[in-house]
Structures are given as C-alpha cells and as structure tokens.
Chain A
Amino acid sequence: MAEIQVIRGTGQLTCLGLGSCIGLCGLDPVSNVAGMIHVMLPEAFQAKGEEKPGKFADTGVPALIEAMVRLGANQSRIAFAMAGGAQVFKFSANNESKLDIGTRNGAAVAAKLRELGFEIVAQDTGGNSGRTVIMTVETGIFTVRTVTSGEKTLCNLRG
C-alpha cells in the first residue's frame, strides 16, 4: 500500500484486494516501462514530510510518472488505466453510508491526470466490490478481478 512499483521489459504489476484505494497503472508501450501505485487518499496532509508520496492522489500521480521516466519511459507515451475506489462497507444500520473516500479517490486521481495532460484509457471505479488489478507488460492487458464477477479484461494499454 502506498508503494510505487515500476518495472521495465517483462512482468506483471498487481494490486491485491483494493477497497476504497485506487490502483493506477501506467505503461509506455515503446520502452516497455510500466508502473503502478496504490493510492489511499485524495490529497496529502500539510506538514507531513515523511509520508510516502504514493499514498495520495495529488502527490502519487506525479511521483509515478517521475519514477517511470527515470526508468526510461517517455512521458508523452504513457497510457493510464485505473480501478478501485469502491465503497465496500455497503451495509449500515441507517442504510446511508457516509464512507465515500473511494469516490473521492477516483475523482482525485482522474483530476490529477487531466491536469498533467493525460487521458485515462479505461477505468473501473466505484461500486461496492473489492478489486484485484493485474497488468501484464508484454501484452498491455489490464485485468480486474472481483469475487462476484471473476476476472475481466478492462483494456489494453498497448492500444
């Protein structure tokens, strides 16, 4: 959680069991550099220098891009997809769940990407299901797995 994973060449990136967090994945199909972050909250708190940047949408998105560029990605070629941001605590006594960080996480990641000039190829966010996301560098295929619907391909980051 809150980690920034980057790989080059071949392999898979995964985030297991995302609840209200967002798994954001980027791929540069030419350099074969891929990266993933597990975003927990929309924005960094003030005066918290030692926090991992990957934890927050506003600091995590630029940190992911920077880590990918350092590994040889060309910023303008990175394609992004994301999943997560669910409200897993769907049952409550008064039928009105106030736990909506998931929705805010999804919106914050999307807003930060837009601000930096990126389009999101595909996203599977919101709802009530916990998700596992897997991206395979060789194929560019981004899959989302839930307990109720099994595994499905969300998109191909190689276009």
Chain B
Amino acid sequence: MMASEISLGLMELSVVRELTNIGLGHATTSLSEMTGRKFTISVPDVESLSLERIPELLGGCEAYAAGIYMPIEGDVTGHIAFLLPWPSVRSLWKMLLGTEPCDPSEITEMDASALLEIGNIINGSFLSAIADMTNLAMHSTPPYLAIEMSAAILDAIVVEASSKDHLALAIRTTITEAEGSLEGFFVYIPSIGGLRHLFASLGIAEAA
C-alpha cells in the first residue's frame, strides 16, 4: 500500500489523541444539536494502524461498509475519512432517521444524505479543532460517500491520496447513544509537509 504507516512517538500520538478528543467533543455537540438526542463520541485508542488492516476491522475485504471521504485544503493538506462497518451504518440510520434499509440496494437519497451530513460534521469538527489549536488553516471540502466493499473504499481513498507521498493514521471511535453504541474508524492522511507544519506549530519536534 502506498500511504505508508505513520510512525509517531508517544508524545505525538498523545497530541493527536488529544486533538481528536477535542475535535470529537465538538462533533458530539453538533450531532446532538442536529438530532435533539444525546450522543457521546469517545476515542478508546489512537493507533497508527496500517491502512491495509482497516478492511479487516470493518468485517473483511468484501464486507459492506460506508466511507465518508473529504480532501483537506489549506496549510495542512491531506485527506480525512470516516469509515463505518455495515452494522454500524444501520445503527446510525436507526438513530438518525428511525428507519434502516435492510439491504444496500434499498438505500435512498435521504439515507445517503444523512450519512454525508454526519460524516461532514465529524470530519469537519476534527479539522476545526486542529485548526483552532494550531492556528493553521484547514478547510474541509464537500464530502463524498461510498457504500461498498470495505477494501474497495480503502482502495479508492489510497488512490486519491497517493498522488503525493502520504502517511496514514487510523483512529478507532465509538459513538454511543441511549439505544446503543457503534464503532467507526477515522482515517487521517496528512501530507508529509503538512504534518511537519502541524507539529512545528504545536512546538513539537517531529518524530517521523
């Protein structure tokens, strides 16, 4: 796989974890405001997972999954995606819309736009948290959604990201609501220059 695995020191990992926690805190608020329900989003672990391992965590290479992907523009360019295994996608629809398509072929416009909106909020909050802390400009661009074989979604993201050299970071995320909880994965692929920029602006010497 082209986007090689990021290797961050403990210090950098804890910074990313903290940024993620803050970002997801923002996302939780927006999500609760939008739906009128109480959500919590937690980050049990920030791992530098290899992108190749993600399909396996989403239920296998050929398992259905959803991916909401956004290119990032500004001082720290890169790519961000939020990936959900199929059972999580269904739970999310149930939470948000009260109904859930049983089969991927029954997905409606409404189902798709609900997922795009959620992805937009989650990815956008993550970016604005980082931007606020670092004073760097990071602009999210309109999101794209795929509901497909998990490996095919990853394949498309890696292709988009690999026009230049990139590193990848995967963050396991749990979204909890009164009716249950679901798991998703955040994939953050900053450009190498962007990452250097990011750590420098936080006053941390880069490990990688």
Given the known interface contacts A101-B159, A132-B62, the answer about A93 and B151 at a Cβ–Cβ threshold of 8 Å is no
A55-B2 in contact (CB<8A):
yes
A130-B155 in contact (CB<8A):
yes
Given the known interface contacts A1-B2, A94-B142, the answer about A20 and B149 at a Cβ–Cβ threshold of 8 Å is no
Q: Which B residues are in CB contact (< 8 Å) with A40?
A: 2, 158-159, 162
Q: Which A residues are in CB contact (< 8 Å) with B144?
A: 89, 91-92, 97, 99
For the complex, give the distance between the alpha carbons of A88 and B112 in Å. 13
A77 within 8 A of B: no
Interface residues on A, range: 20 to 34
B143-A17 in contact (CB<8A):
no
A20-B156 in contact (CB<8A):
yes
Q: Which A residues are in CB contact (< 8 Å) with B145?
A: 89-92
For the complex, give the distance between the alpha carbons of A147 and B144 in Å. 20
Interface residues on B, range: 35 or more
For the complex, give the distance between the alpha carbons of A132 and B155 in Å. 12
Q: Which A residues are in CB contact (< 8 Å) with B105?
A: 148
Q: Which A residues are in CB contact (< 8 Å) with B143?
A: 92-93
A145 within 8 A of B: yes
Sample of 4 further A-B pairs with CB below 8 A, known A21-B159, A145-B62: A19-B156, A20-B160, A91-B146, A92-B145
Pairs across A and B, CB under 8 Å, 18 listed: A17-B155, A19-B151, A19-B153, A19-B156, A21-B155, A40-B159, A86-B152, A88-B67, A88-B156, A89-B69, A89-B144, A90-B146, A91-B115, A91-B146, A92-B145, A101-B159, A131-B152, A147-B104
